[in-house]
């Protein structure tokens, strides 16, 4: 079994939750304030980027294993109406490039996203090293 460009990696499904949005009040002009964001045309308060990057990190750890923690990188863009508390989301990715490394490992690049109702308010690119010793697990999940 081998991974190929174009393969989708196993997705994760979540209900967005940020404890701070549930437990505290934000300034009147904060993007984390429902009234403020609704007055600006958003469906509600925006979930913090650090929460959303955590969802992408989980996706990457599931795929790369522990090597993600020392070899992983990502760059994300936040677009459109964002994500709000309680949204049902899918985090996904597709392999865009693979470089074989001398030790049998693979440097893998991916396009990644968070999707909600067909829209992708979080888009990005990620890369990491898929270790030969753990590649079977990631490959089995991807196929």
pLDDT at 134: 72
Ramachandran sector of residue 113 (left: φ over 0; alpha: ψ -120 to 50; beta: rest): beta
Would you say the pTM of this structure is higher than 0.75?
yes
Question: Kind and range of the H or E element at 34?
Answer: helix 34-39
CATH number of the structural domain spanning residue 61? 3.10.129.10
- Please check whether residue 5 lies inside any domain of the structure: no
Task: Identify which of 67, 50, 78 has the alpha carbon closest to the alpha carbon of residue 108.
Answer: 67
Task: Name the average pLDDT for the chain.
Answer: 90
| pLDDT per residue as tens digits for the range 3-44 | 999 999 999 999 998 877 777 788 888 888 889 999 999 998
Helix (H, G, I), strand (E, B) or coil at 68: helix
Q: Has residue 69 been placed in a domain?
A: yes
Residue 7 falls inside a structural domain? no
In a domain, 122, yes or no: yes
Domain around 136: 12-142
Within a domain: residue 1?
no
Is 30 within the bounds of a domain? yes
- With respect to residue 6, please indicate whether it lies within any of the assigned structural domains: no
Q: Looking at the 3D structure of the chain, how many domains does it have? A: 1
Q: Look at residue 123 in the predicted model and tell me its pLDDT.
A: 98
| 78-103 pLDDT, tens digit each | 999 999 999 999 999 999 999 999 99
In this structure, is residue 138 part of a structural domain?
Answer: yes
- Tokens representing 66 are 């522990």
């Amino acid at each position: 079994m081998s991974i190929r460009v174009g393969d989708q990696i196993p997705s994760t499904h979540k209900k967005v939750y940020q404890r701070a949005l549930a437990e505290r009040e934000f300034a009147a002009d904060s993007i984390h304030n429902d009234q403020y964001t609704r007055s600006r045309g958003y469906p509600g308060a925006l979930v913090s980027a650090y929460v959303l990057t955590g969802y992408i990190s989980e996706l990457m750890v599931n795929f790369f294993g522990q090597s993600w923690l020392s070899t992983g990188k990502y760059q994300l863009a936040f677009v459109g109406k964002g994500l709000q508390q309680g949204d049902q989301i899918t985090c996904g990715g597709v392999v865009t490039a693979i470089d074989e490394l001398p030790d049998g490992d693979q440097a893998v690049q991916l396009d990644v996203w968070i999707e909600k109702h067909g829209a992708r308010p979080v888009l990005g690119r990620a890369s990491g090293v898929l270790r030969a010793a753990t590649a079977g697990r990631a490959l089995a999940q991807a196929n």
